[in-house]
Amino acid sequence: MSIKPPLMDLHIETADSGFYAGFSKNVAVISKIIIATLVIWAVVFPESAGRILNTINGFILANTAYWYIWIVALFVILCIVLALWPAAGRLRLGVEGDRPEFSNFSWFSMMFGAGIGVGMLTWAVAEPMYHFGNNPEVIQGMVEGSSAENIRNAYKWSFLHWGFGAWACYAIAGLALAYFCYRRGLPLTMRSSLTPLFGKALSGPLGHVIDIVAVVATILGVAQTLGFGVEQFVAGLTRIGVGGLTNEAGTANTIGIVVAILAIMAASTASALSGVGKGIKWLSNLNMGLSIFLLSFFLLFGSTFFGLQALVVGIWDYIIALPDLLFRVWRTDGVEGSVATKLEGWQGAWSVFYWAWWVAFAPFVGLFLARISKGRTIREFVLGAMIVPSIMCFVWFTWAGGTAIDLELNGGANGSIAGAPDGDKIFAMIQFMLSDALSWIMSVIIVVLLMTYLVTTADSAVLIVNTINAAGDEGPKARPHIYFWGIALGAVVAALLIAGGHKAITTAMVIGAFPFSVVMVLQCFALVKAIWNDGKREQAGVASTAPESVGAPAE
């Protein structure tokens, strides 16, 4: 039986004229209806929405722990295999002669900024502090919380959630898209990544469903990130003297949420209108520069040697424990308050939550990574997308979070950092370290940095959603659609925060992530099948890239 070329022509019907000219109405309209319904439901019926969402969320978390833990393990393993597999690693994400559009610095900057740059400013301090006080080893009575003996455990668990697992989710989604779009010439939209499994059937309703799932997951995943960012942005504004934005507990009130959302979404929509090569690239380079400045501050004036030790030892502990951490699932023994029940609750609140968050974020970051990675090899893409950002996260966690732990443990902070709300911890630490004048200046810098990260994330999400809705068209989009998704993204964050705080956003995100997690598992099989078959095509002298493609599809 002869080997035939792969599928290189996937037709997706788009409107020829009118308001939706150039867009797939089946995807765009239904996606907008789903998101609009969620916003209206959360605002008009907040109690009912919260109760129903929490019920669904509880069911998912109680019954899918194995699923989320093991699929992320699959993603990590597959990334390593693809990087080491000679036949796969050397393949270029493009045709012969394609080379990277962006320099390595701009590539890493945009990758990190659109990925989880926002989370660094909140969780690089807050998460190590939390795990320093409580983690599975503490629950099992192996170490005492908030003690020097627990520092290594704090970093092991922090690195688990922000390391290779997170970036493997992004790498798989991005690689699947880049491979089929830039080698096969298929549309830059999520359905194209499953063509080896479903072929031309993806032109119809099945493909529409996959793209709609990706759009909804993107909006909810980005909403989760922006929700944390809004709280921290308001905390920063309060620290630099803007009053009336927080409640008695120190968290953002309704006015603060609305002010932050309006500022962020106005700036991000303006940036989205300028495209990836202008506004987003410029902002990414700016926030990378400011990040380096802030990190340098912690390196020079923070707990330098404490952080260095935590980095080296933490990476060692993390890598040694990773095989166990990737597969371990704790289940309750049915006894309330037992160690097994507490471990299950801890894992659901942390590891399972994070894996759902990264999966929900994957269509956005994955498509964005694909867009900025054309011309790179699979090995370069996988190693660059999974290892370099992970190390950057580790450095942030050890020097920023390590300084906070050291100040609480040895520096006399006496709970002033640990007791602050999560979004305010970095500002509390800066205020403890510096004089009033210098802490105010540094707080302003952090607020500006946070703003650039939030804007980069939001405007990238708007462009990605429009690209999916436009059947993979990367060209300029009609302004009304950019405005709509900018407003919709802000409305989702504001509505869910006002209706139920972070818990409401988290619940909606976990629900939205589950369908896309199935798509990602299918992407893994599609990638392996395509690369394997392309190897056979190469041996048989059959074209596997779009410009040389002839014949009927085999997959």
Backbone angles phi, psi at 335, to 5 degrees: -100, 120
Nearest CA-CA partner of 426 in 291, 331, 285, 518:
291
Query: Sorting pLDDT into bands at 50, 70 and 90, what band is 117?
Result: low
Mean pLDDT in residue range 180-198: 93
Q: How far is CA 527 from the centre of its chain?
A: 21
Two tokens, residue 263: 């500022």
- The 3-state DSSP class for residue 435 equals coil
Measured between alpha carbons, how far is residue 248 from residues 244, 252, 253 in Å? 10, 9, 9
Backbone angles phi, psi at 413, to 5 degrees: -70, -30
Q: Answer yes or no: are the C-beta atoms of 228 and 467 closer than 8 Å.
A: no
108 or 33, which is more confident: 33
Two tokens, residue 166: 């997170």
pLDDT in tens, 386-433: 888 898 889 989 999 999 999 998 888 888 998 888 889 999 999 999
Two tokens, residue 36: 């609009």
Angle at CA 396, nearest 5°, toward 112 and 363?
Answer: 30
Quote the CA–CA distance of 352 and 342 in Å, as a whole number.
Answer: 14
| Residue 121 pLDDT exceeds 90 | no
**Nearby residues of 282 by Cβ (< 8 Å), 6 or more positions away:** none
307 or 95, which is more confident: 307
* One-letter amino acid of 357: W
Residue 371, phi-psi category: left (phi > 0), alpha (psi -120 to 50), beta (remainder): alpha
pLDDT in tens, 508-522: 888 888 999 999 999
What pLDDT does 115 receive? 55
9 or 112, which is more confident: 9
Two tokens, residue 463: 């462009």
Backbone angles phi, psi at 405, to 5 degrees: -65, -45
Nearest CA-CA partner of 224 in 454, 446, 448:
454
What percent of the chain is predicted at pLDDT more than 70? 93
Quote the CA–CA distance of 546 and 8 in Å, as a whole number.
Answer: 6
Mean pLDDT, all residues of the chain: 86
Domain boundaries, the chain: 25-548
What pLDDT does 68 receive? 93
Q: Answer yes or no: are the C-beta atoms of 150 and 144 closer than 8 Å.
A: yes
CA torsion sign for 543, 548, 551, 555 is positive
In this structure, which topology does domain 25-548 adopt according to CATH?
Amino acid/polyamine transporter I (1.20.1740)
285 or 361, which is more confident: 361
- The 3-state DSSP class for residue 40 equals helix
